[in-house]
A and B are shown apart, each in its own frame.
Chain A
Amino acid sequence: AQKVTQAQTEISVVEKEDVTLDCVYETRDTTYYLFWYKQPPSGELVFLIRRNSFDEQNEISGRYSWNFQKSTSSFNFTITASQVVDSAVYFCALSEPTDSWGKLQFGAGTQVVVTP
């Protein structure tokens, strides 16, 4: 069963609009880590953020912000004032001790298309 669900397959926005990417995860562990990665058209995977399960503070980094809510098992990602360079596939991922900490479990990804 998929442990990380990214229900949005593709989101299209016009430049300067905000876009929110949903991520819902499933785990029985109390200690776990959540990640977001960006995959631009060039194909590499770029690390964006790592959050542990004990830190529910929202985080902001420039135009990027993350909303972690344990009560709903969600770790959503918002891009404010989107730009064409934000066009990419974004992956949410989970790391939990039942997998010997060696595995990242990825969602299917959300394709973001930003048009001028």
Chain B
Amino acid sequence: EAQVTQNPRYLITVTGKKLTVTCSQNMNHEYMSWYRQDPGLGLRQIYYSMNVEVTDKGDVPEGYKVSRKEKRNFPLILESPSPNQTSLYFCASSSEGGGDTQYFGPGTRLTVL
């Protein structure tokens, strides 16, 4: 089944404790992105990647890191999480740019205390 998977689905952590949210897609897609969803703001892009080893900042990259060492994986790293990073996070992938449809993972609900 074609899908985007994220782990963990739920995470409660404390300020400053490094964490990684994994994202994997099995569709051989070139593009992958991370978004965060906050009430009243919709979804905002954090980072995206056009291919292996090619990443770029989205609208809200502060406090996040990403890497794309393999085509299928695009982990999101919070090196020192803070309470304002409490949010619902989505990973997405698409086969190419040009406005291709992005398919989303199930989401990761993160709470930083």
Least CB distance from A7 to B in Å reads 13
Measured CA separation A5–B56 after assembly (Å): 25
Residues of B within 8 A of A6 (CB): 42
Residues of B within 8 A of A104 (CB): 33, 35, 43, 45, 92, 102
Number of interface residues of A (CB under 8 A): 26
A43, CB-defined interface residue at 8 Å = yes
Residues of B within 8 A of A107 (CB): 42
For window 39-56 of chain B, which residues contact chain A by CB distance below 8 Å? 40-45, 48, 50, 56
B33→A102 contact, CB < 8 A = yes
B97→A101 contact, CB < 8 A = yes
A95, CB-defined interface residue at 8 Å = yes
Given A43-B106, A47-B103, A50-B99, A103:B42 Cβ within 8 A: no
A100→B42 contact, CB < 8 A = no
Closest to B38 in A: A108
Given A43-B107, A45-B90, A108:B41 Cβ within 8 A: yes
A100→B44 contact, CB < 8 A = no
A66, CB-defined interface residue at 8 Å = no
Closest to A92 in B: B42
Least CB distance from A61 to B in Å reads 15
Closest to B49 in A: A102
Q: Which residues of A contact B (CB under 8 A)?
A: 4, 6, 31-33, 35, 37, 43-45, 47, 50, 52, 91, 93, 95-96, 100-104, 106-109
Q: Which residues of B contact A (CB under 8 A)?
A: 31, 33, 35, 40-45, 48, 50, 56, 58-59, 88, 90, 92, 97-104, 106-107, 109
11 additional A-B residue pairs with CB within 8 Å, beyond A91-B43, A102-B97 = A37-B104, A43-B106, A43-B107, A44-B106, A50-B99, A50-B101, A96-B99, A102-B58, A104-B35, A104-B45, A104-B92
